Structures are given as structure tokens and as C-alpha cells.
Amino acid sequence: MPKIKTHSGAKKRFTLTKTGKIKRGSAKRRHDIKGCKSKQKMRQLRKALYADATVVPQIRRLIPYK
């Protein structure tokens, strides 16, 4: 049986926790940080989130060996 290639974009964006959850970063952090987003909003966006249960099977297929 051949090995499955890991999706290079997914391996940069997602990590697996020890409990098996998939951790992801927050969206809307990249642009216009100093202009319109408040310090409180930027603090909230710093937190890592977990992937939704509906997309977990697809992400697991993209990162099979993590």
C-alpha cells in the first residue's frame, strides 16, 4: 500500500492535540491591524480555536501522519 501525501497547506494551518482535536488559528488577523481593530479584538483573535466537527474528517484526510 503506498503512502498518502500530506497536504502542505493543511500541515501549516492545523495541528492535532493529544486528545485528538484539531487546532486552528483565528481568521481576520492579517490586515489592517493598527487601523480599525481594537486591542480587545486583537487579544480575542490571538486565541487558538478548534476545527468544527463537520470538517474534521476532511482535515484528517489532509494530514494523515500528524
Q: Identify the pLDDT of residue 30.
A: 83
Give the position of cell 480587545: 40
Domain contains 1? no
* CB count in 10 Å sphere of residue 53: 9
Name the residue range of residue 13's domain: 8-62
Q: How many CA atoms lie within 13 A of 8 on its CB side?
A: 0
Number of domains in the chain: 1
Consecutive 10-residue averages of pLDDT for the chain (66 residues): 93 94 90 82 90 96 91
Q: Is residue 56 part of a domain?
A: yes
| Alpha-helix residue ranges (DSSP H) falling in 1-66 | 8-13, 39-46, 56-62
Report pTM. 0.78
Three-state SS at 37: coil
